[in-house]
Amino acid sequence: MKIKWQDEKIPHMNVKEAGEVTYLTYPAFEKLEGIIHGFSTRLGGVSRGIYSSMNLSFTRGDEEEAVKENYRRIAQAIGFRTDDIVTSDQTHTANVRKVTEADRGKGITVPRDYQDVDGMVTNVPGLVLTTFYADCVPLYFVDPVKCVIGLSHSGWRGTVAKIGKATVEKMKEEYGCHPEDILAAIGPSICQDCYEVSEDVIEEFKTAFAGEYQERLYYKKKNGKYQLNLWETNRLIFLEAGIPEANISMPGICTCCNPEFLFSHRASHGKRGNLAAFLGLK
């Protein structure tokens, strides 16, 4: 399958294959011995139709047994157990939750007992934080000094609310992390060329971000709509949170530009499954 990268000369992520399963990783994280991570693609699962084939959502109408098998396959490919997963409960907030041993398996093998959680942080080895996507922006955080990780879901509302910065603040508050030690990554999501929004969305961004950044974040078109750059916005949020520019990895791949490889809400007009980001401490 031909993958469309934003810059064909510099793919920012590695494409990995384990049997039939294909997933993506970051070179910067692969250098860290204590980290388990990956981002799923559509390839290698058993789901059918609009969910084909590696759908990781139980809530979009797919067969439950197929989704369970998909989890088993992606977990085996990346190198963890499904029992170790802890999932988000995404409602486009900037709420970040501390995850403990008591949360192991929540959302997969045991019910979640929390709501409205778009970000998670932990220092517990063996837990695998998991968040879900089909155009929104995955945000990964790794502090190799304190052995702390974070994973957050950032749609346009989460981006306006600066959940990336909120995640760093939670890592500082709970574990004493220093932003300059954190390695961060922006995950596969919708690119600026594909992301048209209306003026009411842009008004929110004008309020949240300083004027000198505006031309880097969006531009207006003749039809009165705007093209919004969530990648650059979240990169600026990382910098504002104190993460060094050299510590930030970009995705280089758009979900909407690659609808056969990655699920995209826009490209499929909502007829789709979910991708997932995974991040854990060995």
User: What's the predicted TM-score (pTM) here?
Assistant: 0.98
Q: Among residues 249, 188, 279, 282, which one has the least CA distance to residue 28?
A: 249
Answer CATH for 14-190+247-281 from 3.40.50.2300, 3.60.140.10, 2.60.40.10, 1.10.10.10 = 3.60.140.10
Q: Which two tokens stand for residue 111?
A: 């019910």
Residues 6+ apart with CB under 8 A from 21: 43, 44, 45, 54, 73, 74, 76, 77
What is the DSSP annotation of 24-75? EE-HHHHT-TTEEEEEE-STT----GGG-S----SSSS--HHHHHHHHHHHH
Q: Quick one: DSSP state of residue 79?
A: T
What pLDDT is stored for residue 159 in this prediction? 98
The whole-angstrom separation of Cα 11 and Cα 143 is: 24
What pLDDT is stored for residue 214 in this prediction? 86
What pLDDT is stored for residue 9 in this prediction? 73
Angle at 130 between CA 126 and CA 135, to 5 degrees: 155
Q: Spell out where 181-258 has E strands.
A: 183-186, 196-197, 218-220, 226-228, 248-249
Domain boundaries, the chain: 14-190+247-281
What is the DSSP annotation of 113-125? ---SB-EEEE--T
| pLDDT single digits (tens) 136-159 | 999 999 999 999 999 999 999 999
| pLDDT single digits (tens) 200-257 | 999 999 999 988 888 899 999 999 999 999 999 999 999 999 999 999 999 999 999 9
CB 121 within 8 A of CB 175: yes
Average pLDDT of the chain?
A: 97
The whole-angstrom separation of Cα 260 and Cα 256 is: 9
